[in-house]
Structure formats: structure tokens, C-alpha cells
């Protein structure tokens, strides 16, 4: 009888552990399932000018892997450029936003230094959208996880060669014209 009771307790404990482990694997909030309709997903990022030679550009990544890049100043490629990355890159960007708990971030983080560039980021999934502005870039008050997410976004959107090493002034009229077209994915 004692052995049967011990076996029953062990089975209950193991079943409970299996349920907990299974729940973590299936319902981990850091890695939710990608939406069935990739057209409902877009991630946008804008890097503003600073007192130095900061690159001014914007990029929008659609859920299907289409990328719209617009270079404004201090970049290698100016104007509007459309290209594609693998859809797995778009999935990785969305998953990075979940790991950063992007939808729980404040909408704005103040600068702690004058003249720093601002970064604006928006994630849209279906009817839900959230945007965050970091007014201070490296000197701002935004949590580190926002910067990590933005780094993943820029890497997976493959914008590095488009922004590195450029120089020049921004054309305000052209900037307004290109920005008026946003968002591109929807």
C-alpha cells in the first residue's frame, strides 16, 4: 500500500512538472506565434539628425520581408529604395520586439544631452500598434532592451551598407515628400 501511494505521489508530481514545462514551451510570451497573415505586420524605424554627422534615414519592414528604406542625410544611399529580405528576417524582428517587451515600453524617453539624434520605432501587428521615441539615442534614458531590439531590426533589415559612411545635407522638401507616403506596408 505504501509503495502504491508513493508511486501515485510520484506520478502526480511528474504530471505537474510536465504540465509546467509544456506550458512554458507553448506559451512563452517571448516567442509568440507569428501571425497567419504577414500583411498585418510592419515595423518602422527612423533615425534623426544630430549636431554631428548622424545618419538620417527611415526603414519599414513588412511582414512578408519587403523593406522600404529612405535615406535623407549622412548616408550612402539617399532617396527611397525598395528591396526584400527573407521572411524569416521579418519574423526574427517581430520576435525580438516581443523579447524586448516593446509594447510595454514608454512612448517617449527624454534626452540627457543636447544635440543627440532621436530614434522613433513602431511595431504594428494586426490592429495593435505601439511607437517609442528615444530622444537621446546613446545618451538617452531608454532601457537597454530597446537598443538591442533596434540593433536586431537594423541588422535583419540589412540597412548597414545603405547608411554607412555617407555625408551631405538633408533636403527638407524631399524629406517631407517621402515621409508623406508612409506607411508603405499597408
pLDDT tens for 52-76 read 788 899 999 999 999 999 999 889 9
As a whole number of angstroms, the distance between CA 159 and CA 34 comes to: 23
pLDDT per residue as tens digits for the range 5-31: 344 434 333 334 433 333 333 334 455
3 pLDDT tier (thresholds 50, 70, 90): very low
Other Cβ atoms closer than 10 A to 104? 9
Which pTM does this prediction carry?
0.72
Would you kindly state where each structural domain of the chain is located, as residue ranges? 1-30, 38-179
The partner residues of 133 in beta bridges, in order of sequence, read 108, 120
Tell me yes or no: is domain 38-179 CATH 3.30.1560.10. yes
Q: Are 149 and 124 in contact (CB under 8 A)?
A: no
Higher pLDDT, 153 or 181: 153
Q: What percent of the chain has a predicted confidence (pLDDT) above 70?
A: 66
- pLDDT confidence of 34, banded at 50, 70, 90? low
Q: Cell 544611399 belongs to which residue?
A: 77
Rounded-to-integer distance, Cα 155 and Cα 113, Å? 26
Amino acid at each position: 500500500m505504501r509503495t502504491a501511494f508513493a508511486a501515485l505521489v510520484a506520478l502526480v508530481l511528474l504530471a505537474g512538472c510536465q504540465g509546467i514545462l509544456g506550458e512554458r514551451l507553448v506559451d512563452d510570451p517571448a516567442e509568440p506565434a507569428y501571425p497567419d497573415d504577414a500583411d498585418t505586420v510592419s515595423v518602422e524605424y527612423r533615425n534623426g539628425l544630430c549636431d554631428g554627422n548622424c545618419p538620417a534615414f527611415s526603414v519599414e519592414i513588412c511582414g512578408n520581408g519587403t523593406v522600404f528604406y529612405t535615406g535623407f542625410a549622412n548616408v550612402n544611399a539617399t532617396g527611397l529604395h525598395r528591396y526584400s529580405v527573407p521572411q524569416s528576417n521579418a519574423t526574427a524582428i517581430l520576435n525580438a520586439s516581443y523579447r524586448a517587451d516593446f509594447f510595454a515600453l514608454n512612448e517617449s524617453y527624454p534626452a540627457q544631452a543636447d544635440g543627440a539624434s532621436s530614434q522613433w520605432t513602431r511595431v504594428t501587428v494586426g490592429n495593435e500598434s505601439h511607437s517609442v521615441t528615444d530622444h537621446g539615442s546613446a545618451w538617452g534614458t531608454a532601457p537597454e532592451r530597446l537598443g538591442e531590439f533596434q540593433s536586431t531590426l537594423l541588422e535583419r533589415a540589412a540597412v548597414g551598407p545603405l547608411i554607412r559612411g555617407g555625408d551631405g545635407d538633408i533636403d527638407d522638401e524631399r524629406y517631407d515628400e517621402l515621409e508623406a507616403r508612409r506607411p508603405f506596408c499597408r
